[in-house]
């Protein structure tokens, strides 16, 4: 492109040969402008749109005005994609999934990235459920997938025991891994601040995905944790739950300090992506996520 004359450049644009990349850039700029509220990157976990296939998810983000996505691997590693059926036995399906992970061309992931970009959406992280059943080769491939998606963070609802195995791959790839907690306190799973602390000690590349809804349901203080450990929190999941393992609720009806957390990120100017995760019982996903977006936007735009 550097050697093109102005006339040749104009001809290319007029002919549409380079219009598409510029259109994508324009879409991304518009989405980012809508999706950055008071300096906070507001997005969603694609699990929020689990009612539709991956091909329809970029449009859902576009319709909700969100420009940032944490991509759920469940949207990628579908039964159809790995060649299984609903009747495939669990063990056989697990082997098919392993084979797919080890052989899937990276072009599939660059195509996913391009589809989101065309809708003006940046993928901020890839959600991979690292379990003890993962082989080292599988773990290694997930970092190749992350690079093809253009992300610098993998989030993971993982077994605690897999952390020492994941860490060397993260260090080699220079991609952070942020472990996601749930509210149920069980052996070998992430649920407490101590679980996060143990993982973070393993490597500088290990961090936390702080799900403030689950944190509240387990009776922990999300604001206090974020104040003390924000430098190791690479993503936030925003949902509203009641304390004492209470239910998921529409935003503003639970006990989760959503407003306080959002304003803390805003006021401290921490560059932590905020991902809405729609899990309560509502009507239609786009409509409900739009309500969540407006709740967060009002919280961030007010004092």
**Both structure tokens of 197:** 């602390």
Q: Which of 47, 67, 115 is nearest to 288 (CA)?
A: 47
Model pLDDT, residue 3? 42
What are the chain's domains? 39-77+106-301 (3.20.20.150)
Answer yes or no: are the C-beta atoms of 70 and 124 closer than 8 Å: yes
The three-state (H, E, C) secondary structure of the chain, written as one string: CCCCCHHHHHHHHHCCCCHHHHHHHHHHHHHHHHHEECCEEEEEEHHHHCCCCHHHHHHHHHHHCCCEEEEEHHHCCCHHHHCCCCCCCHHHHHHHHHHHHHHCCCHHHHHHHHHHHHCCCEEEEEECCCCCCCCHHHHHHHHHHHHHHCCCEEEECCEHHHHHHHHHHHHHHCCEEEEECCCCCCCCECCCHHHHHHHHHHCCCEEEEEEHHHHHHCCCCHHHHHHHHHHHEEEEEECEECCCCCCEECCCCCCCCHHHHHHHHHHHCCCCCEEECCCCCCCCHHHHHHHHHHHHHHHHHCC
Q: What is the pTM of this model?
A: 0.88
Strands 36-37 and 40-45, by their bridges, are antiparallel
Residue written as token pair 């990628």: 76
Model pLDDT, residue 199? 96
**Both structure tokens of 58:** 């970029």
Model pLDDT, residue 292? 98
Q: List Cα–Cα distances, 153 to 15, 30, 149, 251, 262, in angstroms.
A: 38, 24, 10, 26, 21
**Both structure tokens of 242:** 């009641």
Model pLDDT, residue 18? 46
Please list the pLDDT of the chain residue by residue as tens digits (303 residues): 334 444 443 444 444 444 445 445 555 555 556 799 999 999 999 999 999 999 999 999 999 999 999 999 999 999 999 999 999 999 999 999 999 999 999 999 999 999 999 999 999 999 999 999 999 999 999 999 999 999 999 999 999 999 999 999 999 999 999 999 999 888 999 989 999 999 999 999 999 999 999 999 999 999 999 999 999 999 999 999 999 999 999 999 999 999 999 999 999 999 999 999 999 999 999 999 999 999 999 999 998
**Both structure tokens of 177:** 């891994």
Model pLDDT, residue 185? 87
Sign of the CA dihedral 18, 123, 167, 229? positive
Non-local (6+) Cβ contacts of 51 within 8 A are: 284, 285
């Amino acid at each position: 492109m550097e050697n093109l004359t102005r006339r040749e450049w104009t001809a290319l644009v007029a002919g549409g040969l380079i219009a598409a990349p510029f259109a994508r850039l324009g879409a991304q700029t518009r989405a980012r402008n809508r999706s950055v509220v008071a300096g906070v990157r507001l997005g969603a976990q694609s699990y929020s749109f689990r009612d539709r296939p991956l091909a329809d998810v970029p449009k859902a983000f576009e319709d909700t005005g969100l420009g940032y996505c944490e991509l759920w691997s469940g949207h990628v590693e579908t039964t159809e994609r790995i060649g299984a059926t609903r009747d495939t036995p669990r063990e056989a399906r697990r082997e098919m999934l392993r084979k797919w992970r080890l052989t899937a061309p990276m072009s599939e992931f660059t195509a996913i990235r391009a589809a989101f970009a065309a809708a003006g959406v940046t993928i901020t992280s890839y959600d991979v459920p690292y379990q003890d059943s993962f082989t080292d080769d599988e773990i290694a491939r997930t970092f190749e997938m992350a690079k093809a998606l253009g992300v610098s963070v993998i989030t993971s609802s993982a077994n605690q025991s897999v952390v020492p195995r994941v860490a060397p791959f993260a260090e080699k790839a220079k991609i952070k891994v942020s472990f996601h907690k749930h509210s149920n306190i069980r052996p070998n799973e992430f649920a407490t601040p101590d679980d996060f602390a143990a993982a973070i000690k393993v490597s500088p590349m290990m961090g936390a995905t702080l799900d403030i809804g689950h944190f509240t349901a387990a009776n922990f203080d999300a604001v206090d944790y974020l104040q003390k450990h924000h430098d190791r929190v690479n993503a936030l999941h925003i949902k509203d739950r009641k304390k004492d393992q209470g239910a998921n609720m529409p935003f503003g009806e639970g006990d989760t300090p959503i407003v306080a957390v959002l304003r803390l990120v805003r006021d401290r100017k921490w560059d932590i992506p905020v991902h809405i995760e729609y899990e309560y019982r509502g009507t239609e996903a786009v409509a409900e996520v739009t309500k969540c977006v407006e709740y967060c936007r009002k919280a961030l735009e007010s004092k």
